[in-house]
Structure 1
């Protein structure tokens, strides 16, 4: 599928590290990308490279993101490079949307009705409220929801059916879980966590469903949890070609069971991984990077990397303590207005 001068077109706007990441021939590539280092541009360029230069079939490529917005942005960028028709063939979306896609097509193999519905957060909350009230379980529905979600996020190996110390102390949680799942089944519903759980079940029992997949690419890898790691592994089980992009320093979903150690897990499970760090920062000044590095280096267990500013040293950062989030917002707006007034770039 290569086009004249397509190599120059793809690589022209990349720096040396980004270029190495895009054209790497390793089966597994880990791109460690700090803030402002062009990670999205690098990942989309690798997708284009694999399809346009390496001849990967678009419908055999899976690209998983964490937000609908990120998926939309990647679709737009890839569409501009490969054309809309080619872009639409790529399996690109959030982990949940990709899982739903496979379950809609192949779910019958694990006894799932192809016309299953999705229980959103509001539905899940309402179901649990009814269960807790009807059975007088003595637990908060919101706590039960969080407990169930965290257990599912760990993956089938840590499913709530296992006996844990917490369950021994409060068996009402297990009762609530069983009633909740039973209610979902009777209503032909899956909640968002079930989409991932059921897709793992499907791909473990019927790997032929993804036997065509040539490569898997994961954005914001630092935010993956246990079951998403397992999904990545199962998506790629036929050829074991994986590219991840992430920054352990930017993990913000610990409350949602994200596991920073998944990076080390990848390096352990795929020992020949090509590790590439994107060190050039196009967003912040040297002064801002110095302050942020002084803070993050206090974590002695962090993955060691550096960020090199493309911009000049810049103004010295100011620590401003305000009374409330509303006051912070007002101050930020006033600073932006002031910067515009004196024609200085806002940082």
Structure 2
């Protein structure tokens, strides 16, 4: 199956540099290239007790890699000593859950709350602002705030999600340099529940960073466990996640590769920062590879993309030429969004595009 790789995709598989950054455009076969490099490593190197950690940012992306490994390279699974999963699951499994109590002061193994599977409900819903009717119990906001790497309280949602506004978030201190009451209440809430072993995922990442800095033995153990790191969808890292990766890299990893596209960042609403990936790409210590061949879209669509983001994507799709002229649609209301959606679905029907393929429009 390696024979099906394009020249640039094969460069990712064959590259012997120890520090690599791959910038990949949409439709360039990024997942196919990641799985190819992974399959090549497994087939050419001896892994007994030290393995490869393949980290992505969504379960869907990880499942795509698993599917590609099975369909293209007949690899049934990626078991011991390797890891394939989200960056959150990697951090939780290896750092936060086994060692979080050392920072949090809780008496037992901590847990991650505020997730789909472990909802957060420890608050008094009757405590409300008499004007806005928003809940004022600070416990309600436990899973909606965390800390940045400088220990400053961090909101995880838009300003209007909280019972107090932008002004207090932007200036947390009173004239005497003490915290304003609303901020102090949140800080006390976080401290209380940390001691009870509760944390949201952003907290788990924050605490894990503190753990790695304070207890080098954790880093040493991880560096022995994984000699290779593959960071997929690297444009979606937060600064805390990137610093955790950098700390791991500082322990003499044999190889690390970042793969992503800053123009496809989707988690900026959740404190991710695509600039962190670009800094890696522009850092002279990393070897750069660029996948700029789009296998999905016509030349016209690639041309629109290039004008919008300043890229140089080239179409190598089966149907490079398309009579349909791409359109860029703006929106200013729910009604206009619905109109765009309806027009899109109508066009798909006219072109005979199957329902399950309609979301893969680019």
Report the RMSD for the aligned CA atoms in angstroms: 3.6
Residue 132 of structure 1: how far off its partner (Å): 7.3
> Displacement, 1:54?
3.3
Relative to structure 1, the CA distance from residue 73 to residue 334 in structure 2 (aligned partners, 3 Å threshold; closer, same or farther) is same
Give the count of matched residue pairs.
Answer: 321
Residue number among 257, 265, 286 corresponding to 2:299 in the alignment:
286
Change in 2 beyond 3 A, CA 1:128/1:237: farther
Indicate how the Cα distance of structure 1 residues 176 and 92 shifts in structure 2: closer, same or farther if over 3 A, else same.
Answer: farther
State which drifts further: 86-95 or 305-314. Answer: 86-95
Contact 2:123-2:140 within 8 A present in 1 as well: no
Distance across 2 between alignment mates of 1:174 and 1:321: 38
Q: Which has the higher helix share?
A: 1
Counterparts of 1:142 and 1:279, CA distance in 2: 48
Instruction: Give the Å deviation of 1:60.
Output: 2.4
- How far residue 287 of structure 1 moved from its aligned partner, in angstroms, is 0.5
Aligned counterpart, 2:145: 148
Q: Which one of 172, 183, 191 corresponds to residue 192 of structure 2?
A: 183
8 Å contact kept, 1:51–1:58: no
Three-state SS of the structure 2 residue aligned to 1:120 is coil
Per the alignment, residue 201 of structure 2 pairs with 192
- TM-score when scaled to structure 1? 0.78
Correspondence 1:200-219 to 2 at 5 A: 200-204=209-213, 205=215, 206=217, 207-212=219-224, 213-219=226-232
TM-score (norm 2): 0.75
- Structure 2 CA distance, aligned partners of 1:89 and 1:209? 13
Q: Which residue of 87, 92, 100 corresponds with 1:95?
A: 87
Contact 1:34–1:307 (CA<8 Å) still a contact in 2?
Answer: yes
* Alignment equivalent of 2:322, drawn from 302, 314, 321: 314
Asked if 1:19 is matched to 2:25, the reply is: no
Q: Name which of 229, 242, 246 aligns with 2:256.
A: 242
Q: Which structure 1 residue ranges, 5 or more long, are not aligned? A: 1-8, 298-304
The CA distance in 2 between the partners of 1:172 and 1:147, in whole Å, is 17
Cα pair 1:34 1:247 within 8 Å, conserved: yes
Residue 64 to residue 321, structure 1, CA distance change in 2 (3 Å): closer
- List runs of 5+ in structure 2 lacking aligned partners: 155-168
